[in-house]
Amino acid sequence: MQLKELFNDYLAYLANNGMDAKTIREHKRFLEGAIAQSVGNKEIENLRIIDSAAVRKAAEVHGEYGPQRAVVAFRQLMKYAKAAGLKVPFDWRDVEVPKVPKKENEYLTIEEIDKIRNAIDTTKNAGIRTRTLIEVLLDTGMRISEACFLKKEDIDWELKEAHIVNVKTKDHEKVYFTDRSLEWLKRYFAFRTDDLPWAFVSGRGHLLPVTSRNYIRTHLLNLGIKKHLKHHLFRKSFVTHLIQGGADITAVGDLARHRSPRTTLRHYAAVNKERSKDVHRRVLDRVFNGAITADEYIGTKRRKPKQGTDAAEVRREDDHRVL
């Protein structure tokens, strides 16, 4: 059996197991692209681990992350083939996934968020809809497809929350609003003249992500914000500002509805890396400008602990004085 003959059954398997349509389209793109071109005509039983190199090479046309995504799709296809009882001559887990540079944790600062808010004309339908959508995304951390399918009846105004379906897991979950986002929802609903059930609408149906994306591209790309303005950036900003505000990792993971704690940890690592820059500035500015000597910073002249005083406590006090 040639590998390409397995593609349709594999995609059907993904759909039957509840994988969201966007992820399935991504798998299909690499199956019918890099994988089909490189190893699609090979018999499954004749495949070898080194064939993943050909998959990787063929996926280079898809950009920096193309080879990694293509190899991941190839691994999952081999896993499915094994589970389907086909003779796979190697363990799919032995296929090495190529490493790629880590993405910078991109998010919007408070100043950038205010700049976006002030650039939107809320006297027009598309403008007040976009402003309200942005406030909701920033407050709830919803993904754009979740917001587009949000219905008015899903919102509990008294408890300041809404029941939604997680687009990735299909689980029923809660998201939480602030007074600001609820106020903008009230303004937007009062502005509308339709009786449609969805919170965000376009024409005679619910808002489509592409419609909102086109508005953002048209009206917000000339603000001098050198970041990729897209809906997911507001979700990233939601998570980052929670962490910067002191929220613990468990709370952030719950509020962001991350499937894996590792996802939340990556955000924490990125924020801590940014804090290192601030520590660098505060300490070295004082050291090199004479406000504190290098010896004091290094600790060669630390105070001797008083009798009955914990030495670790003294070190913490000294560190506080330095910083």
Domains of the chain: 3-94 (1.10.150), 110-256 (1.10.443.10), 266-322 (no CATH)
Q: Decide: pTM greater than 0.75.
A: no
Residue 162 has what pLDDT? Answer: 97
Question: Please, how many CA atoms are within 13 Å of residue 217, restricted to the half-sphere of its CB?
Answer: 6
Residue 290 has what pLDDT? Answer: 62
Residue 301 has what pLDDT? Answer: 47
Residue 169 has what pLDDT? Answer: 83
* Tokens 């408890």 sit on residue: 159
Residue 28 has what pLDDT? Answer: 95
Residue 287 has what pLDDT? Answer: 67
Residue 11 has what pLDDT? Answer: 95
Residue 278 has what pLDDT? Answer: 78
Tell me how far apart the alpha carbons of residues 53 and 57 are, in angstroms, rounded to a whole number.
6
Tell me how far apart the alpha carbons of residues 48 and 90 are, in angstroms, rounded to a whole number.
7
Q: Which residues of the chain have pLDDT under 70?
A: 286-323
Q: What are the residue ranges of helices labelled H in 192-310?
A: 209-219, 231-244, 249-256, 261-288, 294-298
Residue 298 has what pLDDT? Answer: 60
Residue 38 has what pLDDT? Answer: 96
Residue 47 has what pLDDT? Answer: 95
Q: Which amino acid is at 80?
A: Y
Q: Summarize the chain as % helix, strand, coil (round to 5).
A: 60, 5, 35
Residue 274 has what pLDDT? Answer: 80
Helix (H/G/I), strand (E/B), else coil: 307 = coil
